[in-house]
C-alpha cells in the first residue's frame, strides 16, 4: 500500500501501512526540529506483520483490540504480551515483527532522527533496542495529549507538540537500555484481569495452576498469591466456579447431552459434573435443566 506524508523522514508510516494493509485513520505532522508525526491506526484482522528498519523513532500505544500481541523472532513468539494500555518503543535502525492474532487499534508517534538529535541535546541516547509491551502512565498521557491535539484541526500547535514530545522523550530516558520494563511488571489487577479473560475463553482447556502461572510468566506460588489477593479466592476455586456457571448456561440454553456439556464446560467427566452440581447446588444437572430451561410456547 502506497502512503506518503509531506515530511520526507517518515518512511515508517508508508512501511507500516503496507505491512498492516491499511493506511492510518489520522495523520498530523509538525516540522518542529525536523519532524514529528502522530498517526491513529485501526487494522483489519491480522495474523501478524513485519516492519523493516527505518530512520526514525516509533512509539506505539496499544489502545484497543487483540490482547495477544506478541513480538516474533523467527518462529519464536515472546512470552510477553501487549494488551490495551501498554507501549512499545522502536528505535531507529531496528526491524521488528509481531504476531497480532486479530484486529488492533493503536497510536504511533514518529520522531525523525534529526528531531531526536535536537530534542536530546544533552547527548544522552535512548535505549539501543526496542522495548516491547511496557507500562508508563506519563508517556501514555503524552501520547494521548498529542492524539487529542491532532484531532482538532485548528489546534495543532508546533510549540505544544515540541513541549510534549520533549517531555515524552525525557521520560523514556528513565527506562534503562539494559533492563527494559517487562510486560510482567504490570499491576496485579492487570495480570489477574488477563488471566480471567484467558480462563473464560478456554474453560475446556488446561487451566491448572502450572499452566496459568506459565502463561503469566511467573512462579506458581507468586501467581497463586497475587490471584487470591485480587479475586479473594484461589485460582482453582475460581476456575471451578466459572466452569459451573458455564455449565448452568449450557443446560438452560440447549438440549445437548450431559456428556457434551461436561466436556465443553471443562469437566473431566459427566460424573464429575453431576457430583459438583449436587454438592454446590443440591440438584443434579438434569434437575437444574428442568427447573431453568424456558418452556417452549405451543
pLDDT of residue 8: 59
Q: Please enumerate in sequence order all residues whose Cβ is within 8 A of that of 268, keeping only pairs 6 or more positions apart, or say none.
A: 262
- pLDDT per position as a tens digit, 193-211: 888 888 988 898 888 888 8
Nearest C-alpha neighbor of 239 from the set 262, 205, 271, 214: 205
Per-residue pLDDT band for 231 (boundaries 50, 70, 90) equals confident
pLDDT of residue 2: 54
Is residue 131 pLDDT above 60, yes or no?
Answer: yes
- pLDDT per position as a tens digit, 235-249: 889 999 999 999 999
Question: How far apart, in whole angstroms, are the C-alpha atoms of residue 215 and residue 213?
Answer: 5
Question: How far apart, in whole angstroms, are the C-alpha atoms of residue 26 and residue 146?
Answer: 12
More confident residue, 104 or 214: 104
Nearest C-alpha neighbor of 224 from the set 209, 214, 239: 209
Read off the pLDDT of each residue in 77-88 and give the average, rounded to a whole number: 85
pLDDT of residue 284: 93
Is residue 17 pLDDT above 80, yes or no?
Answer: yes
For the record, the C-alpha cell of 266 comes out as 471443562
Is residue 177 pLDDT above 50, yes or no?
Answer: no
Count of Cβ atoms closer than 10 Å to residue 24 Cβ? 21
Count of Cβ atoms closer than 10 Å to residue 148 Cβ? 11
pTM score of the predicted model: 0.59
Per-residue pLDDT band for 183 (boundaries 50, 70, 90) equals very low
**Structural domains in the chain plus CATH codes:** 11-172 (2.60.120.10), 188-292 (1.10.10.60)
pLDDT of residue 288: 92
For the record, the C-alpha cell of 36 comes out as 514529528
- Per the DSSP assignment, residues forming a β-bridge with 104 are 65
- pLDDT per position as a tens digit, 38-50: 999 999 999 999 9
Q: Under a CB-based contact definition with an 8 Å cutoff, are residues 129 and 91 in contact?
A: yes
At 246 the three-state DSSP class reads: helix
- Per the DSSP assignment, residues forming a β-bridge with 102 are 46
- pLDDT per position as a tens digit, 141-176: 999 999 999 998 788 888 999 999 999 998 988 774
Nearest C-alpha neighbor of 79 from the set 90, 68, 66: 68
By DSSP bridging, strand 76-77 and strand 104-112 are: unpaired
For the record, the C-alpha cell of 180 comes out as 527494559
Per-residue pLDDT band for 3 (boundaries 50, 70, 90) equals low
Question: How far apart, in whole angstroms, are the C-alpha atoms of residue 254 and residue 276?
Answer: 20
Read off the pLDDT of each residue in 217-231 and give the average, rounded to a whole number: 80
Task: Please state which of the ranges 99-103, 151-155, 249-253 shows the lowest mean pLDDT.
Answer: 151-155
Nearest C-alpha neighbor of 284 from the set 247, 253, 236: 247
Mean pLDDT of all residues in the chain?
84
- For 149-186, give the DSSP string: HHTSTT---HHHHHHHHHHHHHHHTTS-TTSPPPTTSS
Amino acid at each position: 500500500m502506497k502512503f506518503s506524508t509531506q515530511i520526507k523522514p517518515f518512511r515508517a508510516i508508508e512501511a507500516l501501512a503496507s505491512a498492516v494493509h491499511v493506511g492510518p485513520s489520522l495523520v498530523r505532522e509538525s516540522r518542529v526540529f525536523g519532524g514529528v508525526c502522530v498517526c491513529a491506526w485501526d487494522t483489519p484482522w491480522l495474523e501478524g506483520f513485519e516492519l523493516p528498519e527505518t530512520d526514525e523513532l516509533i512509539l506505539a500505544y496499544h489502545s484497543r483490540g487483540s490482547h495477544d500481541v506478541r513480538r516474533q523472532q523467527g518462529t519464536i513468539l515472546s512470552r510477553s504480551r501487549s494488551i490495551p494500555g501498554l507501549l512499545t518503543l522502536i528505535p531507529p535502525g531496528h526491524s521488528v515483527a509481531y504476531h497480532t492474532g486479530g484486529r488492533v487499534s493503536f497510536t504511533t508517534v514518529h520522531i525523525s532522527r534529526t528531531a531526536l538529535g535536537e530534542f536530546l541535546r544533552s547527548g544522552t541516547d535512548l535505549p539501543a533496542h526496542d522495548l516491547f509491551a511496557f507500562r508508563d502512565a506519563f508517556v501514555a498521557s503524552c501520547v494521548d495529549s498529542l492524539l487529542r491535539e491532532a484531532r482538532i484541526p485548528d489546534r495543532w500547535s508546533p510549540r505544544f507538540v515540541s513541549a510534549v514530545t520533549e517531555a515524552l522523550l525525557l521520560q523514556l530516558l528513565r527506562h534503562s537500555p539494559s533492563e527494559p520494563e517487562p510486560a510482567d511488571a504490570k499491576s496485579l489487577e492487570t495480570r489477574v484481569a488477563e488471566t480471567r479473560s484467558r480462563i473464560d475463553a478456554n474453560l475446556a482447556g488446561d487451566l491448572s495452576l502450572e499452566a496459568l502461572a506459565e502463561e503469566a510468566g511467573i512462579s506458581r506460588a507468586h501467581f497463586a498469591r497475587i490471584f487470591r489477593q485480587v479475586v479473594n479466592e484461589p485460582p482453582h476455586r475460581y476456575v471451578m466456579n466459572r466452569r459451573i456457571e458455564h455449565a448452568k448456561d449450557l443446560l438452560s440454553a440447549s438440549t445437548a447431552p450431559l456428556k457434551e456439556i461436561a466436556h465443553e464446560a471443562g469437566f473431566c467427566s459427566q460424573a464429575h459434573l453431576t457430583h459438583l452440581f449436587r454438592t454446590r447446588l443440591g440438584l443434579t444437572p438434569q434437575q437444574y435443566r428442568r427447573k431453568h430451561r424456558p418452556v417452549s410456547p405451543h
